[in-house]
Structure 1
Amino acid sequence: MALVDNLKKLIGQGKKAAAQNSDKIEKAVDKAADFADKKTQGKYADKIDKVQDAAKKAIPEK
Protein backbone atom coordinates (compact mmCIF):
# COMPACT_ATOMS: atom_id res chain seq x y z
CA MET A 1 0.00 0.00 0.00
CA ALA A 2 2.94 2.33 0.55
CA LEU A 3 3.71 2.30 -3.17
CA VAL A 4 0.18 3.43 -4.05
CA ASP A 5 0.34 6.18 -1.44
CA ASN A 6 3.68 7.38 -2.79
CA LEU A 7 2.31 7.43 -6.35
CA LYS A 8 -0.73 9.42 -5.26
CA LYS A 9 1.54 11.90 -3.52
CA LEU A 10 3.73 12.29 -6.61
CA ILE A 11 0.71 12.79 -8.86
CA GLY A 12 -0.60 15.46 -6.50
CA GLN A 13 2.76 17.23 -6.56
CA GLY A 14 2.83 17.05 -10.36
CA LYS A 15 -0.64 18.58 -10.66
CA LYS A 16 0.33 21.34 -8.26
CA ALA A 17 3.51 22.11 -10.22
CA ALA A 18 1.57 22.11 -13.50
CA ALA A 19 -1.01 24.50 -12.07
CA GLN A 20 1.70 26.85 -10.83
CA ASN A 21 3.32 26.88 -14.28
CA SER A 22 0.20 26.74 -16.42
CA ASP A 23 1.13 29.87 -18.37
CA LYS A 24 4.51 28.39 -19.33
CA ILE A 25 2.90 25.09 -20.30
CA GLU A 26 0.34 26.87 -22.49
CA LYS A 27 3.11 28.77 -24.27
CA ALA A 28 4.96 25.49 -24.88
CA VAL A 29 1.81 23.87 -26.27
CA ASP A 30 1.29 26.85 -28.60
CA LYS A 31 4.90 26.73 -29.75
CA ALA A 32 4.73 22.98 -30.41
CA ALA A 33 1.48 23.35 -32.37
CA ASP A 34 2.93 26.18 -34.46
CA PHE A 35 6.04 24.09 -35.16
CA ALA A 36 3.98 21.06 -36.22
CA ASP A 37 1.74 23.22 -38.40
CA LYS A 38 4.76 24.79 -40.08
CA LYS A 39 6.45 21.43 -40.69
CA THR A 40 3.29 19.98 -42.24
CA GLN A 41 2.72 23.18 -44.24
CA GLY A 42 -0.78 23.59 -42.80
CA LYS A 43 -1.96 20.25 -44.16
CA TYR A 44 -3.13 19.05 -40.74
CA ALA A 45 -3.99 22.42 -39.19
CA ASP A 46 -7.47 21.33 -38.09
CA LYS A 47 -6.15 18.22 -36.35
CA ILE A 48 -3.29 20.14 -34.75
CA ASP A 49 -5.76 22.72 -33.42
CA LYS A 50 -7.89 19.97 -31.86
CA VAL A 51 -4.88 18.45 -30.13
CA GLN A 52 -3.74 21.90 -29.01
CA ASP A 53 -7.15 22.60 -27.46
CA ALA A 54 -7.22 19.21 -25.73
CA ALA A 55 -3.74 19.74 -24.31
CA LYS A 56 -4.70 23.14 -22.92
CA LYS A 57 -7.84 21.71 -21.32
CA ALA A 58 -5.71 19.07 -19.58
CA ILE A 59 -3.60 21.72 -17.82
CA PRO A 60 -4.78 22.16 -14.21
CA GLU A 61 -5.96 25.64 -13.28
CA LYS A 62 -4.33 27.65 -10.53
Structure 2
Amino acid sequence: MGLLDNLKARLGPAKNKVSDLAHQHEDKIQHGLDKAARTVDKRTKGKYSDRIQTGTGKAKGAVDRLAHKNDPGSGAGGTTTPSAGPPPTS
Protein backbone atom coordinates (compact mmCIF):
# COMPACT_ATOMS: atom_id res chain seq x y z
CA MET A 1 0.00 0.00 0.00
CA GLY A 2 2.16 2.85 1.22
CA LEU A 3 5.78 3.31 2.10
CA LEU A 4 5.15 2.81 5.83
CA ASP A 5 3.24 -0.43 5.29
CA ASN A 6 6.03 -1.73 3.05
CA LEU A 7 8.65 -0.82 5.65
CA LYS A 8 6.69 -2.50 8.47
CA ALA A 9 6.32 -5.66 6.39
CA ARG A 10 10.07 -5.84 5.80
CA LEU A 11 11.04 -5.09 9.40
CA GLY A 12 8.69 -7.67 10.95
CA PRO A 13 11.01 -10.69 10.51
CA ALA A 14 14.04 -8.69 11.69
CA LYS A 15 12.18 -7.62 14.83
CA ASN A 16 11.30 -11.23 15.62
CA LYS A 17 14.91 -12.32 15.05
CA VAL A 18 16.22 -9.59 17.40
CA SER A 19 13.66 -10.59 20.03
CA ASP A 20 14.74 -14.23 19.81
CA LEU A 21 18.42 -13.30 20.11
CA ALA A 22 17.70 -11.02 23.06
CA HIS A 23 15.83 -13.86 24.75
CA GLN A 24 18.69 -16.32 24.16
CA HIS A 25 21.47 -13.99 25.32
CA GLU A 26 19.67 -11.87 27.91
CA ASP A 27 22.16 -12.65 30.69
CA LYS A 28 25.14 -11.71 28.49
CA ILE A 29 23.48 -8.45 27.46
CA GLN A 30 22.69 -7.56 31.08
CA HIS A 31 26.28 -8.34 32.09
CA GLY A 32 27.60 -6.19 29.23
CA LEU A 33 25.41 -3.27 30.26
CA ASP A 34 26.67 -3.53 33.85
CA LYS A 35 30.28 -3.72 32.69
CA ALA A 36 29.88 -0.71 30.40
CA ALA A 37 28.21 1.28 33.19
CA ARG A 38 31.04 0.49 35.62
CA THR A 39 33.65 1.49 33.03
CA VAL A 40 31.98 4.80 32.21
CA ASP A 41 31.39 5.54 35.90
CA LYS A 42 35.05 4.85 36.65
CA ARG A 43 36.30 7.03 33.79
CA THR A 44 34.07 9.92 34.81
CA LYS A 45 35.19 9.45 38.42
CA GLY A 46 31.61 9.03 39.63
CA LYS A 47 30.54 12.47 38.43
CA TYR A 48 27.56 11.10 36.49
CA SER A 49 26.74 8.02 38.61
CA ASP A 50 23.04 8.85 38.96
CA ARG A 51 22.59 9.36 35.23
CA ILE A 52 24.57 6.23 34.41
CA GLN A 53 22.45 4.15 36.80
CA THR A 54 19.24 5.59 35.36
CA GLY A 55 20.33 4.91 31.79
CA THR A 56 21.47 1.41 32.63
CA GLY A 57 18.17 0.66 34.33
CA LYS A 58 16.21 1.90 31.32
CA ALA A 59 18.38 -0.12 28.93
CA LYS A 60 17.89 -3.26 31.03
CA GLY A 61 14.15 -2.68 31.06
CA ALA A 62 14.11 -2.33 27.28
CA VAL A 63 16.10 -5.54 26.84
CA ASP A 64 13.78 -7.31 29.26
CA ARG A 65 10.69 -6.16 27.36
CA LEU A 66 12.24 -7.12 24.03
CA ALA A 67 13.38 -10.52 25.24
CA HIS A 68 10.04 -11.41 26.81
CA LYS A 69 7.61 -9.85 24.35
CA ASN A 70 6.44 -13.24 23.08
CA ASP A 71 6.16 -14.89 26.50
CA PRO A 72 2.61 -15.65 27.59
CA GLY A 73 1.53 -13.56 30.56
CA SER A 74 4.30 -11.01 30.17
CA GLY A 75 2.95 -7.55 30.70
CA ALA A 76 4.07 -4.07 31.58
CA GLY A 77 3.91 -4.88 35.29
CA GLY A 78 5.82 -8.13 35.04
CA THR A 79 9.36 -6.84 34.77
CA THR A 80 11.96 -8.28 37.10
CA THR A 81 14.59 -5.64 36.49
CA PRO A 82 15.70 -3.98 39.72
CA SER A 83 15.37 -0.24 40.06
CA ALA A 84 18.22 1.86 38.73
CA GLY A 85 18.93 3.73 41.92
CA PRO A 86 19.07 3.14 45.65
CA PRO A 87 15.81 2.86 47.57
CA PRO A 88 14.39 6.11 48.92
CA THR A 89 15.21 6.96 52.51
CA SER A 90 12.54 8.02 54.98
Q: TM-score over 0.5 for the alignment? A: yes
1:39 is matched with which residue? 43
TM-score normalised per structure 1: 0.88
Structure 2: runs of 5 or more not aligned? 72-90
- Match of residue 52 from structure 1: 56
Which structure: greater helix fraction? 1
Residue 47 of structure 2: SS of its match in structure 1?
Answer: coil
Whole-angstrom distance in 2 between the partners of 1:31 and 1:16: 23
Aligned residues: 62
Q: Which residue matches 2:21?
A: 17
**Cα RMSD (Å):** 1.6
- More relative contact order, 1 or 2 (CA 8 Å, 6+ apart): 1
Structure 1, unaligned stretches of length 5 or more?
A: none
Give identity over the alignment, percent. Answer: 35
